[in-house]
Amino acid sequence: MTITRTSNTITTRDGTTIYFTDWGHGPVVTFSHGWPLNGDAWEDQMMFLAEKGFRVIAHDRRGHGRSSKTWHGNHMNDYADDLAQLIEALDLHNITMVGHSTGGGEVARYIGRHGSDRVKKAVLVGAVPPQMVKSPTNPGGLPMDVFDGIRNGVQSDRSQFFKDLSAPFYGFNRDGAKTSQGLRDNFWLQGMQCSIRAAYECVKQFSETDFTEDLKKMDIPTLLVHGSDDQIVPIDAAARRAVEFLPQGRLVVYEGAPHGLPSTHKDRLNADLLEFLRS
């Protein structure tokens, strides 16, 4: 089966419909979103960069947002292959790939599986590589019961679970934090657009996948941005380790920033992205 496309979707070779937003003209920047969100999580960065002369493209991962709610294929390899087919269908080259959280893993796995021939640079924001779960080879990771708790939350009452999760995601549970109820509501809305199957299955993918070898293959300039107060993907087990494996990696730490920094620290991230893109 060949890849087919419309103005806002492609149908992959296995028949999955992948929805994408494509704005602007100029050098290409692709965006891969975190769990359990969709491409709209990047709207602040996309609008900013499109106005600065870039073509920005964000897709909804399979099972998420407006893409097909597939039963099968909720695997990191499939996520990366879906992205590869989107890039092929749109005939994109000299891309800067940006990924947040699980999306950072998707970017790394894309390059690990498909190489960097079409990729110029990469940005990993609050990203999950090299591996989240604690193991003999990753002693600084989080224990498995953390991820079992997430799966239980998804199964038992995912609507309430997403409402509760939005607080630490954006750091609104910290003393003195100024809470945006609208931002929390948007997190819940995007989360509920994800199928329960995809939300459940993706937990294993973002927590247990080992991206070490993928990072070693990222032979392009790579910027890592991570909040020092990330309660979802702690920086010590993620970015501080990931940068050690990247051939051309550079880490920028946002002091006190939470996991959802593309929203809470959007002005700073936008400026850093623009500088990196123009460098």
Q: What is the mean pLDDT of residues 103-132?
A: 98
Cβ atoms of 55 and 20 within 8 Å: the answer is: no
Cβ atoms of 214 and 122 within 8 Å: the answer is: no
**Residue 137 scores a pLDDT above 90:** no
CA atoms within 13 A on the CB side of 162: 23
Question: pLDDT, tens digit, for every residue of 161-181?
Answer: 999 999 999 999 999 999 999
- Residue 46 is predicted with a pLDDT of 98
Question: pLDDT, tens digit, for every residue of 95-106?
Answer: 999 999 999 999
Residue 166 corresponds to which tokens in the numbers above?
A: 């939005």
Cβ atoms of 238 and 138 within 8 Å: the answer is: no
How many folded domains does the chain comprise? 1
Residue 23 corresponds to which tokens in the numbers above?
A: 């704005």
Domain containing residue 256: CATH number: 3.40.50.1820
When pLDDT is cut at 50, 70 and 90, the band that residue 6 belongs to is confident
Contacts (Cβ under 8 Å, ≥6 apart) of 60: 18, 19, 20, 33, 38, 39, 66, 67
Question: pLDDT, tens digit, for every residue of 244-271?
Answer: 999 999 999 999 999 999 999 999 999 9
Distance CA(96)–CA(31), nearest Å, equals: 9
When pLDDT is cut at 50, 70 and 90, the band that residue 1 belongs to is confident
User: By percentage, how much of the chain surpasses pLDDT 70?
Assistant: 100
| Full DSSP string of 38-100 | -GGGGHHHHHHHHHTT-EEEEEPPTTSTTS---SS--SHHHHHHHHHHHHHHHT--SEEEEEE
User: By percentage, how much of the chain surpasses pLDDT 90?
Assistant: 96
When pLDDT is cut at 50, 70 and 90, the band that residue 203 belongs to is very high
Tell me which residues are annotated as active site: 101, 230, 259
How wide is the angle at C-alpha 41 spanned by C-alphas 270 and 79, nearest 5°?
110
Q: Could you tell me the end-to-end alpha-carbon distance of the chain, in angstroms, rounded to an integer? A: 40
- Residue 2 is predicted with a pLDDT of 83
Average pLDDT, the chain: 97
Distance CA(89)–CA(87), nearest Å, equals: 6
Strands 119-125 and 55-59: unpaired
Domain that holds residue 243: 4-278
Contacts (Cβ under 8 Å, ≥6 apart) of 200: 151, 154, 155
